[in-house]
Amino acid sequence: MRSKLVLAVLFALSSLSAMAQVAPAVKIGGLPLGVGVGFSDYDTSYYYPYLPYWSGRMTGISAWADYSIFHGLGVEVEGTSLFGNKPTSFLPADEVHGSLSEKSIQGGLLYKYPRTVFKVRPFAKALGGVGRIDFPDRVTSSYTYENTGLFSAGGGLEYRLWRTVFVRGEYEYQWWEDFRSGTQTLNPNGFTIGATYYLRGIHRHY
């Protein structure tokens, strides 16, 4: 009985060894999905006569997710919120209602150079979406915000800090064509620096 058990174990081990020789190997590779967050510094392109001596620049945060489809070509979804360094009006506080902020969410095409050169790879993107601007006005006005469609173009560089972490710096220029019912074009533009983490997946190879 014991000898039969030993023979059965040896047969099972030999079968597993044979299967391992013909089964596909498994490796850990990079899933082409990246998520990131960064600090943004933008020229809001917004000006009003009672906001003198203001640089027009505001700060905030951006977040994005991108997915590579084929040889560097992919898609990206991006959201930006500018809320820091708000201007102060010279008008008395009780005469002004609201404060300035800009928000946008976009999606579109992204191209990244498929390989890194000295750990660096460039990228370019073309996006479209919607934006919202809140702005101060006199308390007698109920017109203190507006939603509008927009599109943008941008590009930058990624630097591989670790296997799945890239530092990212970019410049983006936006066109808000329908601002103030199309009578004024708003062109927020600026820089974002942050980091992208690329998820990891399991892939088989033969």
Asked if 155 and 129 count as a contact pair (C-beta separation under 8 A), the reply is no
Task: Give the lowest-confidence range in 26-30, 38-42, 111-115, 140-144.
Answer: 26-30
Strand intervals (E) in 71-164:
73-84, 96-97, 101-112, 120-134, 137-138, 145-160
Fold of 24-205: Porin (2.40.160)
pLDDT at 171 over 70: yes
Residue with tokens 């020789």: 21
Arithmetic mean of pLDDT, 64-71:
93
- pLDDT band for position 4 (cuts 50, 70, 90): very low
Please report which confidence band the pLDDT of residue 89 belongs to, taking 50, 70 and 90 as the band edges. Answer: low
Q: Is residue 48 predicted with pLDDT exceeding 70? A: no
Task: Please state the domain extents for the chain.
Answer: 24-205
* Cα distances (angstroms) measured from residue 68 to each of 39, 41, 51, 112: 23, 27, 43, 8
Res. 204: pLDDT tops 60:
no
In order of 7, 53, 56, 146, the CA distances from 49 in angstroms are 93, 10, 12, 19
Least confident interval from 1-10, 119-128, 162-171:
1-10
Spell out the residues 6+ positions from residue 44 whose beta carbon is closer than 8 angstroms to its own: 56, 57, 58, 82, 100, 102, 188
Give dist(CA 172, CA 128) in Å, integer: 12
Quick check: helix, strand or coil at residue 51?
Answer: coil
| C-beta atoms surrounding 58 within 10 Å | 24
What integer pLDDT is reported at residue 144 of this predicted model? 78
Q: Can you give the pLDDT at residue 18?
A: 43
pLDDT greater than 70 at residue 101: yes
Instruction: Please check the confidence at residue 172 and state whether its pLDDT lies above 70.
Output: yes
Does residue 157 register a pLDDT over 50?
yes
- Using the predicted structure, report yes or no on whether residue 192 has a pLDDT greater than 50: yes
Whether pLDDT at 134 is above 90: no
Phi and psi, residue 13, nearest 5°: -65, -40
